[in-house]
Amino acid sequence: MTFVAEPVTRLIEEFNKLPGIGPKSAQRLAYYLLRSSDEEARALAEAICALKEKTRLCSVCFNITDRDTCVVCQDSERDHSKICVVERPSDILPLERTGKYNGTYHVLHGTISPARGIGSEELKIKELLSRLQDGSVTEVIVATNPNLEGETTAMYLRRLIGPLGIRVSRLARGLPFGAELEYADDMTLSEALEGRQEF
């Protein structure tokens, strides 16, 4: 691409590194920005810079925040005796959207994955255990994904937290809304049967 100006090539290359963006999409984005106003381009550049410069991890729950302690951890209205453990910061959004949970969170930043060589040391497990030391927490809700790695992590946490006398619960597993019974897998179906409720 020697006949294209260097700044344009550079931007195309940068876009190309993003997930789900191929060379054609990268080109389209770069040329779109070239045509757009100066303010628009600057706003995008500033937003990207701010993302890295102004965000950090909450010192309590390790969610992404722009201050030392995140909004949830600072909120005295919330129930601080409950901690919901999630894999990634993005898992908090759907839980908040339900409007059913009023406790606090703890982000592990990953799951235990023997296949990829990720052990408990790489996750924020030690930090979770130290939050449980003062005895104010009565329940830990493990909300890791219902797959092999999420289950491994959940079982590991139960083994660590159970002996402390704190209730450890796991998000219920069952049939998702809109699914068909015929196509459900054994594990989901058997857990859905075991956890059936009167209605």
Residue 2's φ and ψ, nearest 5 degrees, are: -70, -25
Which of 155, 166, 168, 192 contacts another protein by CB under 8 A?
Answer: 155
Q: Indicate the helix (H) or strand (E) that contains 83.
A: strand 79-86
d(CA 148, CA 145): 8
Residue 193 tokens read as 């049967």
- Residue 165 contacts another protein per CB under 8 A: no
Residue type, 195: G
Binding mask 75-114 for another protein (x = CB under 8 A): -------------------------------------x-x
- Residue 16 contacts another protein per CB under 8 A: no
Which of 99, 183, 193, 199 contacts another protein by CB under 8 A?
Answer: 183
Beta strands in 56-199 (DSSP E): 56-57, 64-65, 79-86, 103-107, 139-142, 167-170
The sign of the dihedral angle between the CA atoms of 88, 111, 84, 100 is positive
Which of 109, 110, 152, 192 contacts another protein by CB under 8 A?
Answer: 152
Shortest approach of another protein to residue 143 CB, angstroms? 14
- Residue 193 contacts another protein per CB under 8 A: no
- Residue 119 contacts another protein per CB under 8 A: yes
- In this structure, are residues 124 and 106 in contact, taking their beta carbons and an 8 Å threshold? yes
Torsion angle (degrees, nearest 10) of CA 93, 97, 103, 107: -10
Give the nearer residue to another protein in terms of CB position, either 69 or 120: 120
Give the nearer residue to another protein in terms of CB position, either 103 or 150: 150
Binding site for another protein (CB under 8 A): 20, 112, 114-117, 119-120, 147-148, 151-152, 155-156, 159-160, 176, 178-180, 183-188, 190
